Structure 1
Amino acid sequence: MIRLTDVKKSFGTNHVLRGINLHVPKGESMVVIGGSGTGKSILIKSVLGLVTPDAGEILVDGKDATKGDRDAFLARFGMLFQGGALFDSLPVWQNVAFRLMRGSLKRPKDQAREIAIEKLRRVGLKPDVADRFPAELSGGMQKRVGLARAIAAEPEIIFFDEPTTGLDPIMSGVINDLIREIVVEMGATTMTITHDMSSVRTIADKVAMLHDGVIQWTGPVKEMDTSGDPYLTQFVSGSADGPIEAVR
C-alpha cells in the first residue's frame, strides 16, 4: 500500500532522510522507531505530501503520491497527531466530524454528529462528551477524541504520531490496546512513529528502525529482540553504550 524507494530530504546542510527504502503491505501495521530528531515525522509528512522529497519515489497503492487529486488522495488517510491537535473552539463532536462536514466527504450535520457519537463510543467515551470542549477533558480523553477523529471517515490508511506521548503507563496501555483493536477491526494499513516500546509491542506487525537517515533494520515485531542488529538492540534495551551516540 505504501512504498518508499531511495527517498531523500535535506534542510540546508541537515540531511534528514538519506535514502529511505520501506514498504508497507496492505492491511499491515508498520511501526517506525528511532530517537528524537531522526526524521520519523518527516517520513510521514513526505508520504502525505506535506513535505516534498528532494529525491526518490513514494507510491501509495501503486500511484505517485505527489501527483493527482490532492483531496481524493488525502481522503484515504486518517491521522492521530502527537499533541492531540484538537480545535479548542469546537465541541468534541465537531472535532471528530471535522472532515465529515467539509469537502468531498461532506455529510448533513445531523448525520455527521451521529457518526461522531458512534466513533466516540467506539473509543470508550460516552455520548455526553460530545458537547464538551477539549479543555474540559483529561489528556487521555483528548487522545481518545483524536483517535475517534482519525477513524471517523473510515480511512484506508491511518498514521499515528507518538500516540502515547504525555500519558501515564496505564492510559498508554489503554490507548495502545484500542489502536490495535480498531486497526484489526477496520483492516486498515497503518504507520505509527514512536519511541515507546510498549506501543511497538502492542501495535506492530512489523518494525522499522530509522537511524542516521536510513532504515537500519526492518522485520516482524517477534524478531525484534533477537535481530542481532546493534542499532536496534541498543534502542530496544535503552543502553547508552552502542553505535547510537547518546548526547551527554
Structure 2
Amino acid sequence: MTGTPPPRIAFREVTKSFGPKEVLRGVTLDIPVGESMVIIGGSGTGKSVALKTVLGIIPHDGGTIEIDGVAVGRTRRDDFLSRFGMLFQGGALFDSLPVWQNVAFRLRQGRDRLSKSDARDLAIEKLRRVGLKADVADLFPAELSGGMQKRVGLARAIAAEPEIIFFDEPTTGLDPIMSGVINELIREIVVEMGATAMTITHDMSSVRAIADKVAMLHDGKIRWTGPVDQIETSGDPYMDQFLHGRAEGPIEAVR
C-alpha cells in the first residue's frame, strides 16, 4: 500500500532570529507537488527570510524545512540547487553579459554544461516562450525596458526546466499593464511545466492571478492559509485587514 507522498516543500515550526529580533517564530506550511503557493504579508513580516531559508542562503535556527521529505542541507548542494529556478525581485541580470548568456548562465556551468551554440539556441527558445524575439538575445540588459528585463529573468528561471520555481515580488517596479502580462506568463508557465511555485508578494493582483493557495504571514507566523478563491471570505482578521487595506485591525502600521 502506497502512502501519501510528502509535500514538495514543508516548513515545520521554522524559526529564525537576527540578534534579538525574531523574524520567523514557528512557521508551519505545506506546499504540495504542482501547487502554486503565494505568501503574502507586509514589509518586514518574514516573507523574504522564509524564501531564503528554503534556498539555504541563510540557515534557519529551529524547526525543519524539507524538500520531498528530505531535510534541507542533507543533499549535495549542486544537486539541491539544480531543482530550482528563481525570478528575483530586481531582475538580478548580469549587466556585462548579453541576454542569451544571462538566460543560459546555469546551463553553461558544471560538468554537464551545454556547448555555446546549444545554450544560445535554448536561450532563444526560452526567450520566445516569454514573448521576446530572437533579436533580443544579443542585447545587453541596459538596452531593455523594465518589463523586458523581467521577462528575461523569467526565461532564465525556467531555462533548466526546474521542478520548483521561486518568485520574489515578481511585479515590483512594473506598470499595471506589464504586471498583468508577467502574472499571466507566470501562471501559464507554472501550469505548463507542472512545477511547484512559491511566490512572495504584497501585490494582490499577482495573488489572484497566479495562486492556487495563499498563506498570510504576519509577525513571523502563518496566520491563515487556504485556496485563493476563499480569501474574500476567510473570516481571518489578518487576511481581511490586509486584503482591504484597513488601518484598524490586528496588523499595526509601522510609523
Amino acid corresponding to residue 219 of structure 2 in structure 1: D
Which residue in 2 is equivalent to 1:142?
A: 149
SS at match of 1:45: helix
Query: Aligned-pair distance for 1:104?
Result: 4.5
Of 111, 117, 124, the residue aligned with 1:110 is 117
Amino acid corresponding to residue 123 of structure 2 in structure 1: A
SS at match of 2:137: helix
Task: Please say if 1:94 is aligned against 2:94.
Answer: no
Which residue in 1 is equivalent to 2:42?
A: 35
Query: Aligned-pair distance for 1:103?
Result: 1.5
Count of residue correspondences: 248
Amino acid corresponding to residue 196 of structure 1 in structure 2: D
Partners of 1:163 and 1:37 lie apart in 2 by 17
Of 10, 15, 21, the residue aligned with 1:8 is 15
Pick closer, same or farther for the CA change 1:207–1:87 going to 2, 3 Å.
Answer: same
Task: Please say if 1:71 is aligned against 2:78.
Answer: yes
Alignment TM-score, normalising by the size of structure 1: 0.99
Which residue in 1 is equivalent to 2:172?
A: 165
Pick closer, same or farther for the CA change 1:20–1:89 going to 2, 3 Å.
Answer: same
Query: Aligned-pair distance for 1:105?
Result: 4.5
Partners of 2:108 and 2:140 lie apart in 1 by 18
SS at match of 2:63: strand
Which residue in 2 is equivalent to 1:228?
A: 235
Query: Aligned-pair distance for 1:246?
Result: 1.1
Partners of 2:52 and 2:224 lie apart in 1 by 21
Which residue in 1 is equivalent to 2:52?
A: 45
Q: How much identity, in percent, do the aligned residues show?
A: 74
Pick closer, same or farther for the CA change 1:104–1:34 going to 2, 3 Å.
Answer: farther
Which residue in 2 is equivalent to 1:219?
A: 226
Task: Please say if 1:247 is aligned against 2:232.
Answer: no
> Does the 8 Å contact 1:99/1:105 carry over to 2?
no
Which residue in 1 is equivalent to 2:26?
A: 19
Amino acid corresponding to residue 96 of structure 1 in structure 2: V
Partners of 2:17 and 2:48 lie apart in 1 by 13
> Does the 8 Å contact 1:35/1:195 carry over to 2?
yes
Listed as ranges, the gaps of 5+ residues in structure 1 are none
Partners of 1:110 and 1:116 lie apart in 2 by 10
Partners of 2:26 and 2:174 lie apart in 1 by 33
Which deviates more from structure 2 when the two are superposed, residues 124-133 or residues 236-245?
Answer: 236-245
Pick closer, same or farther for the CA change 1:105–1:58 going to 2, 3 Å.
Answer: farther
Partners of 2:190 and 2:177 lie apart in 1 by 20
SS at match of 2:45: coil
State the Cα deviation string for residues 155-200 of structure 1 (Å, max 9, x = none). 0000000000000000000000000000000000000000000000
Alignment TM-score, normalising by the size of structure 2: 0.96
Query: Aligned-pair distance for 1:247?
Result: 2.2
Amino acid corresponding to residue 220 of structure 2 in structure 1: G
Partners of 2:181 and 2:206 lie apart in 1 by 10
Pick closer, same or farther for the CA change 1:137–1:52 going to 2, 3 Å.
Answer: same
State the Cα deviation string for residues 111-147 of structure 1 (Å, max 9, x = none). 1101000000000000000000000000000000000
- Coordinate RMSD, CA, aligned: 0.7
Which residue in 2 is equivalent to 1:154?
A: 161
The structure 1 segments of at least 4 consecutive aligned residues displaced by more than 3 Å after TM superposition are: none
SS at match of 1:47: helix
Amino acid corresponding to residue 119 of structure 2 in structure 1: A
